[in-house]
Amino acid sequence: MLSGIVHDSILVLAWLLAFVWWRRSIEALRGIRTMLDLTELDRDTLPQLIDHQPPHLTVVVPARDEATSIEATLRSLFSQTGIRLQIVAVDDRSVDATGAKMDALATDAASGPHAYEVLHIRELPSGWLGKPHALAKGVERAKAPWLLFTDADVLFVPEALHLALRTAIREKVDHFVLAPTLISERLAEAAIQATIQVLGHFIARLWKIGDPNARDAFGVGGFSMVRREALSTIGGIDRLRMEVVEDVSLGWLIKREWHGRSLMVLGPGLVRLRWLNGTFGIVRLLEKNAFAGMRYNVPMTLVVCLSLLLHALVPLAALAEGPWGMVAAALTYSGIAIGIHANRKLNRISPLLALMFAPSVLIVVWAFLRSMALTLVRGGVVWRGTLYPLNELKKGMVHFWLA
C-alpha cells in the first residue's frame, strides 16, 4: 500500500512539474521575443545625443583586486563611439595591481574623447559594504545626467553605450538594464548558467520589467544605468549601503517603491561577461549572494532548496514509474529545453543542455545551503577579506521579497 502511495505521489508531482515548466517556458519564449533588442533597432528612430561640453554618461567602475581584468574593461570603455563619457574607476582597497593599472591607463585615456579619473579608497567607513561605498564615491564625482554602474570584468563593444543611452532616452525610463551576453568556456559552466537563468523565469519575468502594472523588478551588476535625478530621489546609493545584492535592490527601489520606469533590454554581443569560472564557480559566486538574496531568511532558503530538489529529482524518479512517468519526465525536460531556448539571446546555449539540469540544480542547492551555513556560522558575510556582521546587513537591507 505504501509503495502505491509513493508511486502515485511521484506521478502526480511529475505531471505537475511538466505542466509548470511548459506553462512558464512558453510564456518566456513569447515574452522574451517582445523585449527590445538593441542590435535590431532602426537607429534613425533613436534620438541623437546633444553635443555639449558635459559628458552624456558617467560610468562608475568599482574594483577590488581585479588586476587580471580591469585593463580590458577600461579599454573597452575608452573605445566607445558616438557618446561622451566620464569614466570613474574606483580602486576599492585593492592589495594587488588593480590601482596601479588604473593609474597607468590615464595617459592612454587622455588622448581619447572621454574624461577619465581614478579614485583610490584606502579605508572602508563603518556601516558600508565595499561595493556600495565605492559606487557612492563614484557618484559623488558624476557630472552627467545619466549614470552607468558596471563591474571590472565586463567588456563593451564600441557602439554599446551610445545605443543604450539613446534607447533609454527614447523610452523615457529612469532605470535601464542591458542584459549582458554571458560567456561560457566549459560545458559544465554553460549547463549551470543555463539552469540558473531558466529557473530565473520563476523569480523575475524579464519581459515584464517594463510593465508598470507588473510586480517584476530586477537589476544586473554588469549594466545598470539610471538617471542621476531618479537615484537622488530614492535616497541615492546611501539606501544600498549594506546591500550585498545592490543591483537587484536598486531595480526594486526605483520601480516598486518610487514607481519609476524600469526597462530591461537585450543586445546580444554588445556587453559580454564571463559570469562563472569553472564548474563550481557558482558556489564561490553565491557564497555572498545566495543567502542575501533570500533576505537572510532561513525558512525561505530551506523552502527554496526543497523546491529545487523536487524539480531535479522528481522527473528522474518518474522514469522508474512506468510509461506515464516517462512521458511526464520527457515533458518536463522538453519544457526546460524550451526555457533555455527562450534565453538564447542571453547566453547562446544549446537547449540540449537541459539534459544536465538535475546535476546543475544539485550544485546550485549546495551553493545556497553553503552560503546560508557560512553566513550563520561566521555571524555575517565575508567578502574579499572583510566581515560584514549579519545584524548590520539585516538592518540595512531592502525588503524586496516582502512587498
Domain map (residue ranges) of the chain = 2-34+279-396, 38-273
Alpha helices in 43-143 (DSSP H): 70-78, 98-104, 106-110, 130-140
Segment 79-102 mean pLDDT: 96
pLDDT in tens, 156-206: 999 999 999 999 999 999 999 999 998 888 888 899 999 999 999 998 899
Q: Which secondary structure element, helix H or strand E, spans residue 118, and what is its range?
A: strand 115-121
Rounded Cα gap, residues 182 and 273, in angstroms = 5
Are the beta carbons of 59 and 114 closer than 8 angstroms? no
pLDDT value for 384: 78
% of the chain residues with pLDDT over 70: 98
**Helix, strand, coil abundance in the chain, percent, nearest 5:** 55, 15, 35
Are the beta carbons of 178 and 270 closer than 8 angstroms? yes
Superfamily of domain 38-273: Spore Coat Polysaccharide Biosynthesis Protein SpsA; Chain A (3.90.550.10)
Other beta carbons less than 10 A from residue 256's beta carbon: 16
Choice between 142 and 1, residue whose per-residue pLDDT is larger: 142
Segment 71-95 mean pLDDT: 96
Edge to edge, what strands does the sheet with 181-182 contain?
A: 154-156, 271-273, 181-182
Q: How far is CA 309 from CA 6, 358, 364, 366, in A?
A: 17, 8, 10, 10
Segment 194-220 mean pLDDT: 92
Rounded Cα gap, residues 381 and 78, in angstroms = 34
pLDDT for residue 403 is more than 60: no
Strand partners, 225: 148, 176
Kindly report the backbone phi and psi dihedral angles of residue 259, in degrees, each rounded to the nearest multiple of 5, phi listed first: 60, 35
Other beta carbons less than 10 A from residue 40's beta carbon: 9
pLDDT in tens, 299-352: 999 999 999 999 999 999 999 888 999 999 999 999 999 999 999 988 889 999
3-state secondary structure of 86: strand
